[in-house]
C-alpha cells in the first residue's frame, strides 16, 4: 500500500472527530443539507463500506479541503460554470477502485443526497458538476485503466479515461487498429460512449456505442453489474441512452476496428466570393452518399471578407478523413464532388494516429504522447445546440442561411454527414435513434472569452436566434437533438408532479420513439429516480 501522508491523516481524523462530536449537538436537517451535515454521515458510511479510513481520506474532498477547488476546476470545460456564484458540490469523491463507486452510491442514497457523475467534464451544460439542489460529485478521473487486446481486437476502458488516452493505447499495440469515437482527445470515455459517441469514422463503422460488447455499471443498490448479470433492456439502454440516468458506468469493453496503414486527410475552403453556395450544395449531395470510408465535415463561419473590406462573408471549409490512399480519393471525388477540385497536393497521407492528431489541431509532426495530456490550456465560455437535416436544403435556402449568419456575426455551424453504416443500423437496435433518414447533423457553436454577463447574454441570444431561424430546414415532429450536445433550452425536469411530462419534452427530441422504452427501463431499475439530472430519463408516474 502506498505510504500515507501523516499530516493529512491527522488532519482528517481531527476534522472527523470534531464533526462527529458536533453530531451530538446539532440537529441534522436533510431538507437543507450543508457540508457539515452531510460530510460526517457520508464519511462514516464510506468507512463502514470500505473498511479503510486511509483510503477514504484520500478520495473525499469537503469544501474545507485545501485541494477541493483545484479538483473541482480541473475538469470544468465550460468557463461559465467556473465562477464564484456557480453552485458547488458539498463533497467531491474521486474513486480509485470499483468498490469506491459502489460505496459512494450506497452512502449517497442512504443520506438522501443527489449524486452527480463526471468523467471528462465536456458536457456543455455542466450537468455533471452543477445543480440547484445540494449534491455530491462522483468524479471518475482516477478510474482510467485501459487494456488493449489486439489478438481479440477488443479494449477494456474505465470510464474516467479520455479518448486521447484510448487512441494512444491502441496505437501502442497496433498500427492497423482503431476505435470509432470523437475527435477531441480530452473528452471522457464515460459520457461520450454512453451518449452514442460519433466521430469521423461513423460512416464506416457507426458510433462508439455500437461497439460496446460489455459494460460495468453500478446500479442504485450498489451492485456492480455486467452484461451477463443485467437485464437485456438495461444493456440496450446504456448504448446511447446512458448519461447518468441508470447508474454509474465504471468501464466498457469495446470492439476495435481495422484501419489501413495509411489514411488520407485534407482541408479545402471556399468563400461566398468564390462560389461557396454551389460548393456547399454539392457537398450536401455527395457527403452523405459517397464511399463510406470517407467522412467530410463542413464548417461554416462568418468571417471578414478579403474582397469586400469591412464586410462579413461566409467561410465554408471541409475537414476530411478517408480510410484509403490519396490517389483513390482524388479519383472518387473528381466524379462525385467536382466543385471541390481536389488534387493530390491538397491531400496528406499519414498513419491513423497522426490523423487523430491532425483532427485535434496539433501541429504536423506532434508526437502521439500529446494525446495523453488530459488538461486544456483554458476553458472557454460556450453554448451549443444541435439539429438533424433530413431533406436537402436548396441553394436559395443556403443563401438565406448565409444572410442570417452574417447578420448574427458570431455563430459557427459544423455539418456532419450521415449515411453509410449509420443507414444500416435500425433506429431501435440501441437507445441511440438517429440513423437512416438523416443526411447530416448540425452542431451550433458559440465561443467567447469575455466573462461579463453582457457577453453571455449576447452569445446566448444569438445562438438561440440562429437555431430558431433554422426551423424550416431541420427535422420536425420531433425536432431531434443529439444527447451529447446537451441543450437545456429544449426542456428541463424539476422532478415535481409533472416529471414524466417534462421528461417527454426533451426525451423525444433526444431519443425519438426510443424514449418510451427508456422510461420503462428506468422505472424498472431505478423506481425511486435516485439517478437524476436536469435532462435524465424520468420514471412512469405513479398510478395510485
Residue 109 DSSP label: H
pLDDT digits (tens, 9 = 90+) for 338-384: 999 999 999 999 999 999 999 999 999 999 999 999 987 778 999 99
Q: Please give the pLDDT value at position 31.
A: 52
pLDDT at residue 379, as a whole number? 86
Tell me the average pLDDT of the chain.
93
DSSP code per residue over 211-259? GEEEEEEE-TTS-EE-TTTS-HHHHHHTTT--SSSSSEEEEEEEE-EE-
Average pLDDT over residues 482-496: 96
User: What is the pLDDT, as a whole number, of residue 34?
Assistant: 81
**68 is known as an active-site residue:** no
Is the confidence at residue 2, as pLDDT, over 50?
Answer: no
Using alpha carbons only, what angle is made at residue 393 by residues 392 and 398, rounded to the nearest 5 degrees? 155
pLDDT digits (tens, 9 = 90+) for 101-158: 999 999 999 999 999 999 999 998 999 999 999 999 999 999 999 999 999 999 999 9
Tens digit of each residue's pLDDT (9 = 90 or more) over 47-77: 999 988 888 989 999 999 999 999 999 999 9
- Is the preceding omega at residue 491 within 30 degrees of 0, hence cis? no
Q: What is the DSSP letter of 473?
A: G
pLDDT band for position 278 (50/70/90)? very high
- Give the length of the chain: 544
Say what the pTM is.
Answer: 0.93
Q: What's the whole-number mean pLDDT along residues 192-196?
A: 96
Task: Residue 208: name the closest of 225, 227, 226, 189 by CA.
Answer: 189
Least confident stretch, 79-83, 348-352, 354-358, 456-460: 79-83
Strands 412-417 and 212-218: unpaired
User: At 32, is the pLDDT very low, low, confident or very high (cuts 50, 70, 90)?
Assistant: low
Q: 432: which 3 cell numbers?
A: 441511440
Model confidence band, residue 543 (pLDDT cutoffs 50, 70, 90) = low
- Provide φ and ψ at 50, rounded to 5°: -100, -15
Q: Does the pLDDT value for residue 392 go beyond 80?
A: yes
pLDDT of 283 over the 60 cut: yes
Question: Which of 129, 252, 418, 485 does the annotation list as catalytic?
Answer: 485
* Residue 149 in grid coordinates: 487486446
Residues 234-262, mean pLDDT to the nearest whole number: 97
| Rounded alpha-carbon distances, angstroms, from residue 507 to 125, 467, 539 | 16, 19, 12
Give the Cα separation of 128 and 136 in Å (integer).
Answer: 10
Instruction: Report d(CA 10, CA 138) in Å as an integer.
Output: 24
Beta strands at 381-389 and 440-448: parallel, antiparallel or unpaired: antiparallel
- Tell me the β-bridge partners of 412: 445
Which residues contact residue 446 at a Cβ distance below 8 angstroms, ignoring those fewer than 6 apart?
A: 382, 383, 384, 410, 411, 412, 459, 460, 462, 463
Q: What is the pLDDT of residues 398-410, one digit of tens each?
A: 999 999 999 999 9
The span from the CA of 95 to the CA of 102, in Å, is 10
List, for residues 157-169, the tens digit of each pLDDT value.
Answer: 999 999 999 999 9
For residue 5, the model assigns a pLDDT of 47
Residue 22 has pLDDT above 80, yes or no: no
With a cut of 60, say whether residue 10 has pLDDT above it: no
| Residue percentage of the chain with pLDDT more than 90 | 89
Q: Tell me phi and psi for residue 221, to 5 degrees.
A: -95, 5
- Contacts of 84-88 with CB under 8 Å at 24 or more apart are 86/126, 86/130, 87/130, 87/131, 87/132, 87/135, 88/63
What's the pLDDT at 457? 97
pLDDT tens digits, one per residue of 467-478: 999 999 999 999
pLDDT in tens, 295-312: 999 999 999 999 999 999
Amino acid at each position: 500500500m502506498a505510504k500515507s501522508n501523516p499530516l493529512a491523516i491527522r488532519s482528517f481524523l481531527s476534522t472527523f472527530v470534531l464533526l462527529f462530536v458536533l453530531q451530538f449537538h446539532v440537529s441534522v436537517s436533510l431538507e437543507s443539507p450543508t457540508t457539515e451535515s452531510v460530510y460526517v454521515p457520508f464519511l462514516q458510511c464510506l468507512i463502514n463500506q470500505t473498511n479503510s479510513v486511509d483510503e477514504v481520506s484520500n478520495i473525499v474532498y469537503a469544501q474545507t479541503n485545501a485541494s477541493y477547488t483545484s479538483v473541482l476546476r480541473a475538469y470544468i470545460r465550460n468557463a461559465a460554470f467556473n465562477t464564484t456564484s456557480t453552485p458547488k458540490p458539498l463533497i467531491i469523491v474521486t474513486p480509485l477502485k470499483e468498490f469506491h463507486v459502489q460505496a459512494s452510491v450506497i452512502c449517497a442514497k442512504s443520506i438522501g443526497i443527489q449524486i452527480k457523475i463526471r468523467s471528462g467534464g465536456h458536457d456543455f451544460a455542466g450537468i455533471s458538476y452543477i445543480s440547484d439542489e445540494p449534491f455530491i460529485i462522483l468524479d471518475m478521473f482516477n478510474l482510467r485503466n485501459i487494456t488493449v487486446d489486439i489478438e481479440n481486437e477488443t479494449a477494456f476502458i474505465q470510464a474516467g479515461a479520455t479518448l486521447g488516452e484510448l487512441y494512444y493505447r491502441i496505437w501502442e499495440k497496433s498500427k492497423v487498429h482503431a476505435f470509432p469515437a470523437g475527435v477531441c482527445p480530452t473528452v471522457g470515455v464515460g459520457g461520450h460512449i454512453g451518449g452514442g459517441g460519433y466521430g469521423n469514422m461513423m460512416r464506416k463503422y457507426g458510433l462508439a456505442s455500437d461497439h460496446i460488447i460489455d459494460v460495468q455499471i453500478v446500479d442504485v443498490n450498489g451492485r456492480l453489474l455486467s452484461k451477463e448479470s443485467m437485464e437485456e433492456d438495461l444493456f440496450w439502454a446504456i448504448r446511447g441512452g446512458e448519461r447518468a440516468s441508470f447508474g454509474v458506468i465504471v468501464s466498457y469493453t469495446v470492439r476495435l476496428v481495422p484501419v489501413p496503414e495509411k489514411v488520407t486527410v485534407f482541408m479545402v475552403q471556399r468563400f461566398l466570393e468564390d462560389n461557396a453556395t454551389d460548393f456547399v450544395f454539392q457537398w450536401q449531395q455527395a457527403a452523405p452518399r459517397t464511399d463510406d470510408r470517407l467522412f467530410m465535415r463542413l464548417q461554416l463561419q462568418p468571417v471578414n471578407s478579403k474582397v469586400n473590406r469591412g464586410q462579413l462573408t461566409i467561410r465554408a471549409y471541409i475537414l476530411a478523413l478517408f480510410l484509403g490512399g490519396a490517389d483513390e480519393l482524388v479519383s472518387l471525388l473528381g466524379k462525385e464532388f467536382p466543385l471541390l477540385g481536389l488534387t493530390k497536393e491538397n491531400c496528406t497521407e499519414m498513419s491513423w494516429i497522426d490523423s487523430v492528431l491532425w483532427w485535434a489541431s496539433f501541429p504536423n509532426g506532434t508526437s502521439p504522447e500529446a494525446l495523453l495530456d488530459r488538461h486544456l490550456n483554458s476553458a472557454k465560455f460556450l453554448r451549443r445546440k444541435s439539429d438533424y437535416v433530413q431533406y436537402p436544403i436548396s441553394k436559395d435556402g443556403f443563401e438565406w442561411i448565409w444572410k442570417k449568419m452574417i447578420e448574427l456575426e458570431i455563430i459557427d455551424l459544423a455539418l456532419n454527414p450521415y449515411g453509410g453504416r449509420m443507414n444500416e443500423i435500425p433506429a431501435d437496435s440501441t437507445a441511440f435513434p438517429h440513423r437512416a433518414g438523416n443526411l447530416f447533423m448540425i452542431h451550433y457553436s458559440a465561443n467567447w472569452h469575455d466573462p461579463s454577463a453582457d457577453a453571455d447574454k449576447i452569445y446566448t441570444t444569438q445562438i438561440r436566434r440562429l437555431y430558431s431561424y433554422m426551423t424550416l430546414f431541420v427535422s420536425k415532429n420531433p425536432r431531434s437533438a443529439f444527447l451529447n450536445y446537451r441543450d437545456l433550452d429544449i426542456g428541463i425536469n424539476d422532478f415535481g408532479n409533472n416529471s414524466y411530462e417534462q421528461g417527454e419534452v426533451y426525451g423525444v427530441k433526444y431519443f425519438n420513439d426510443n424514449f418510451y422504452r427508456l422510461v420503462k427501463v428506468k422505472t424498472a431499475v431505478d423506481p425511486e429516480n435516485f439517478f437524476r439530472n436536469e435532462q435524465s430519463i424520468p420514471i412512469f408516474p405513479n398510478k395510485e
